[in-house]
Structure 1
Amino acid sequence: MSFPDGFLWGAGTSAYQIEGHHGRGESVWDAFCRRPGAVEGGGDGSRACDSYVRWREDIELVKELGLTAYRFSTGWSRVMPGGAHPDPKALDHYERFTDALLEAGVEPVLTLNHWDMPAGLSWADRSSVNAFTAYAQAVADRLADRVTWWITQNEPWIIALLGYQLGLHAPGVADLGTAVKAGHHVLLGHGAAADVLHAHQGVKAGCALSLFPCDPAGDSDEDRAAAAGSDGYVNRWYLDPLLGDGYPADMREHWERALGHGLDFIADGDEAAIGGRSDYLGINYYTRRVMAAAPPAPFPWKVVGPSGDVARTDEGWEINPGALRDLLIGLSRRFPGVPLMITENGGVFGDAPTHDGRVHDDRRIAYLRDHVEAVGAAIDAGADVRGYLHWSLMDNFEWALGYRPRFGLVHVDYASGVRTIKDSGRYYARLIAAGGTAPATPRIEAFG
């Protein structure tokens, strides 16, 4: 494998998951976390990793790991408390943070919306697009002269699915029609924010999609149709308007059947306002979906696997780096000329510090090695991949799952805030220094 010159090796976080409150405005997640039973363990983001205060310490971690890129988000509810007017102090903070990254030789990858929408706003309302545009303008006016890589929206499907369809994430709405409408407005927000960003020279704007390869559970025509339908629901409904020729016709028909009415919230000109604005595609990859046919109300498919003895994370997600390789190759062939970036990839492994003070997370090391190899194989097959950003830099608040799942290369003791670089973080540092070439053994002891 040979990774191209300038390939970005990084890790990611988001504002609500690590910063803590410290003067931030009320967000939809603050309100959601106050609902009894909404968050596992009853936690919230009021302290998280205290990174708004300890940001210099976090940049030292980035430097120690040898990262060449760091993905972070500007907190929407911090920059625009109340949703209408920017807070200069918040923008000052992110300006200092960005400058410190650049001084360390680290490329900032800035996310505008990583789910912490100001309270009082809703993606169910078309007016949210204007509010998001004003926020993008405020951040761009401060940082577009020094930040090249921008992510407008993080995981539109997850916002629609968990926030508005199932009610498992903020704002906790459970209505299918509202979810489809909200997802459309998120994409409109991408287009509007990209237009703001492209007014600044040299900026690259993209959207980070949660992409799940969909495979049939069996060889039947019904299972193959279920996998194709799931792909349309999860992936193509967002890929096609961003990078193709608008919303896919088969999924338009599906939504009209499922909702019992037309998609009148998609106005004339909306698809033109979404498409043609992505300088690259951000890919958040965790696992695949294995699908089987099901009764057609409202979806004629269901997730059934994989079954059997397959490698899994502690959250039960199948570990399948080959699916990432195939996804990257397939995207590069379907959308030639669109650069790709892995904006999230990681797994939940609950290893804790041992008697020697270290975190021996060998399974995460193997996960990293195998997924980086998959990215390299896709590049060798012709995919234009510009970077790999591991999720996450540090353990943090994982939304409705609270503080139990640990994704980080750095362990965080939440009571004290103490950060400890895990063996996987040290492994990643060695891998980066070697240009992506990993040893055969996943054990950190191989490095002495």
Structure 2
Amino acid sequence: MNIQFPERFTWGAATAAYQVEGAAFEDGKGKSIWDVFSHVPGNIEDDATGDVACDQYHRYPEDIKLMQELNLQVYRFSVSWPRIYPEGTGVVNSKGLDHYDRLVDALLDAGIDPWITLYHWDLPQALHERGGWPNRDIADWFTDYALTMAERLGDRVKHWMTMNEAWVCSYFGYRDGNMAPGIKDHKQALAASYHFNLAHGRAYNAMKAMNPNLKVGITHATQQHRPLDGKPESLALAEFLWQENNGVFMEPIFSGSYPEAIIDRYPESIPVITDADLIEMNNYDFVGLQYYCDNLIRDGKLVAEKLPEFEYTEMGWPVTPDGFYNNIMEYVRRYKPKELAITENGMALDDEVDAEGRVRDVRRQKYIKAHLESVHRAIQDGAPLTGYFAWSFMDNYEWACGYRPRFGLIHTDYATQTRTIKDSGRMFAEIIRNTGW
């Protein structure tokens, strides 16, 4: 199969601060909700924490050289909010700003374009203690932080993402309690979802007013739910889950309202969108879509067991590249976005370095190519896709799963911090070099 992407298509890989930086308590950094949550016994597999992670805070020059070997055009990373504002607001930590200054300059010197995510889940613990995302004041706290970063780095960084996967933060953090901050309250979860949108919009407006040349977007986890039968209850559940996982965050931005199915299900919990808030929310330059798999439905219920007709990843997720195409096109059909980028896509495997010093991750190579075929097909069918970012640049701390799942193009030996480019990373480098295969 001959797959060729547009010449201006952007190729990159992504990480997040808490997952790779380490240096959790160095150079004036404050505590985040993950610094606290991960230290509670039983919250994380093997009680793992991100205290050291991949030590990228200290080792970024080495990692940038590896990015060059992978032919990466872009590195998407997040800023640690408590590294900039240890108390969430107030006094800026100059050592934190200096670190990201050096990182951005080093990337640019290496010919790699930095794309910054402002919030990838590590809320300052001090702001959680003041109400966190369910507190409306967070829209202003976040905007002040966003402006601080844009003022410092906006002369060199063009692409900014305000939030990463707000539905994960809202539902897993505030509804299910299995991720930081560990709260189980559906009303707080929906309040958080509202304030994620409000904070995004308010920060967008402030950043664009300061520098109109910035491109400011937001990323969303694309949750496609696939009925395996045509039963009405299966189709109804698929639509409801689309609206709960996608519509709650996308509809206020694109249409100014919450989905009717969500209003009907949770009439007392849905925040009221005011006209003033809507003006702030309904702004973006691009949307980052993040996809890993379809969630399967049968007989009106989510399928919990593994089905023999599907391959599964180390996370227990089915491999569904055809669902990736369908998901992209469903977003285009429903929301008609101006510009899309795939800001995360990847496969967790139990990778090991063999006796010859190689990681022969054949399944990940097939996964990447199959999903890129779906991206290519979507572009041909009119999706405004402009880039693809592999998740992730390197094996790292995978939140509640600790260090077990390995998503990286680069293998990390956590005991020695040795990095080894996997066969999938070599393949990805060739795809970028040739703009396809």
Does residue 42 (structure 1) correspond to residue 44 (structure 2)? The answer is no
CA contact (8 A) 2:225 2:296 kept: yes
Displacement of 1:265 in angstroms is 5.8
In structure 2, the residue corresponding to 1:53 is in which secondary structure?
A: helix
Match of residue 431 from structure 1: 431
Whole-angstrom distance in 2 between the partners of 1:251 and 1:271: 18
Say if 1:426 and 1:262 are closer, same or farther in 2 by CA, change over 3 A. closer
- Superposition deviation, residue 392 in structure 1: 0.3
Q: Give 1:410 deviation, angstroms.
A: 0.4
Shift of residue 431 of structure 1?
0.9
Q: Contact 2:7–2:435 at 8 Å: present in 1 too?
A: no
2:86 alignment partner, SS class: coil
- Is residue 2:362 matched to residue 1:356? no
Q: 1:171 to 1:34 in 2, by over 3 A?
A: same
Q: Deviations over 1:124-145 (max 9, x none)?
A: 2112111111110110101112
Secondary structure at 1:52 match in 2: helix
Post-superposition shift, 1:92? 1.4
**Which whole-Å CA distance do the structure 2 matches of 1:307 and 1:355 have between them?**
34
Moved more, 214-223 or 103-112: 214-223
1:343–1:389 Cα contact (<8 Å) kept:
yes
Find the counterpart in structure 1 of residue 391 from structure 2: 391
Q: Unpaired runs of 5+ in structure 2?
A: none
Aligned residues: 426
Structure 1 stretches of 4+ moved >6 Å: none
Alignment of 1:4-403 (within 5 A): 4-20=6-22, 21=24, 22-23=26-27, 24-84=29-89, 85-121=91-127, 122-199=132-209, 200-256=211-267, 261=268, 263-264=270-271, 266-275=273-282, 277-292=283-298, 302-304=302-304, 307-336=307-336, 338-403=338-403
Give the aligned residue type for 1:123.
W
* Residue 249 of structure 1, CA deviation: 2.5
Instruction: Find the aligned partners of 1:51 and 1:321 in 2 and give their Cα distance.
Output: 31
Q: Distance in 1 between matches of 2:272 and 2:61?
A: 45
RMSD: 1.6
Offset at 1:107? 1.6
Q: What does the per-residue CA deviation read over 1:205-226, in whole Å, with 9 as the maximum and x for residues that have no partner? A: 1111011112223211121111
Segment drifting more, 339-348 vs 98-107: 98-107
SS at match of 1:433: helix
For residues 123 and 391 of structure 1, what CA distance do their matches in structure 2 show? 26
Sort the Cα spacing of 1:427 and 1:308 in 2 relative to 1 into closer, same or farther, 3 A: same
- Using the TM superposition, give the Cα deviation of residue 86 of structure 1 relative to its aligned residue in structure 2, in angstroms: 1.8
Query: 1:33/1:304 Cα in 2 relative to 1: closer, same or farther (>3 Å)?
Result: closer
C-alpha separation in 1, matches of 2:337 and 2:398: 34
What amino acid maps onto 2:155 in structure 1? D
The 8 Å contact of residues 49 and 417 in structure 1, kept in 2 or not, is answered as yes
Asked whether the equivalents of residues 117 and 160 of structure 2 are also in contact (C-alpha less than 8 Å), the reply is: yes
- Classify the secondary structure of the residue corresponding to 2:403: coil
Q: Which moved more, 1:80-89 or 1:9-18?
A: 80-89
Quick one: distance in 1 between partners of 2:95 and 2:121? 21
SS at match of 1:390: strand
Taking the aligned partners of 2:35 and 2:87, their CA distance within structure 1 comes to: 13
Question: Aligned residue for 1:443?
Answer: none
State the alpha-carbon separation in 1 of the partners of residues 340 and 233 from structure 2.
32
Q: If the length of structure 1 is used for normalisation, what is the TM-score?
A: 0.92
| Secondary structure, counterpart of 2:30 in structure 1 | coil
Q: Which amino acid aligns with 2:77?
A: F
1:377 Cα deviation from its structure 2 partner: 1.0
Partner SS state of residue 198, structure 1: helix
Query: Does the 8 A contact of 2:176 with 2:182 survive in 1?
Result: yes
3-state SS, counterpart of residue 122 of structure 2: coil
Q: Secondary structure at the match of 2:58?
A: coil
Assess if the C-alpha contact under 8 Å between 1:226 and 1:292 holds in 2.
Answer: no
In the TM superposition, what is the alpha-carbon distance from 1:88 to its structure 2 partner? 1.6
Cα 1:94–1:262 change in 2 (3 A) is: closer
Alignment-mate amino acid for residue 242 of structure 2: D
In 1, are the aligned partners of 2:234 and 2:297 still within 8 Å (CA)? yes
Counterpart CA distance in 2 for 1:243 and 1:100 is 37
Secondary structure of 1:314's match? Answer: coil
> For structure 1, which segment, 328-337 or 45-54, has the greater mean C-alpha deviation from structure 2 after superposition?
328-337
2:428 counterpart SS class: helix
1:44 Cα offset (Å): 0.7
**Cα distance in structure 1, aligned partners of 2:381 and 2:76:** 26
Question: Residues 60 and 93 of structure 1: is their aligned pair in 2 closer, same or farther, counting only changes over 3 Å?
Answer: same
Maintained 8 Å contact 2:229/2:299: no
Q: 1:95 to 1:202 in 2, by over 3 A?
A: same
Contact 1:67-1:106 within 8 A present in 2 as well: yes
More moved, 382-391 vs 305-314 = 305-314
State, as a whole percentage, how many aligned pairs show the same letter.
40
Q: Cα offset for 1:154?
A: 0.4
- Partner Cα separation in structure 2 for residue 6 and residue 101 of structure 1: 20
Listed one character per residue, the Cα deviations across residues 359-406 of structure 1 (whole Å, up to 9, x for unaligned) are 111111111111111111111111111100000000001111101110
Aligned to 2:125, the other structure's residue is in SS state: coil
Say if 1:310 and 1:81 are closer, same or farther in 2 by CA, change over 3 A: same
SS at match of 2:56: coil
Give secondary structure in 1 for the equivalent of 2:382. coil
**Please, which runs of 5 or more residues in structure 1 have no aligned partner?**
295-300, 438-448
Q: Distance in 1 between matches of 2:145 and 2:159?
A: 17
Counterpart residue identity of residue 285, structure 2: D
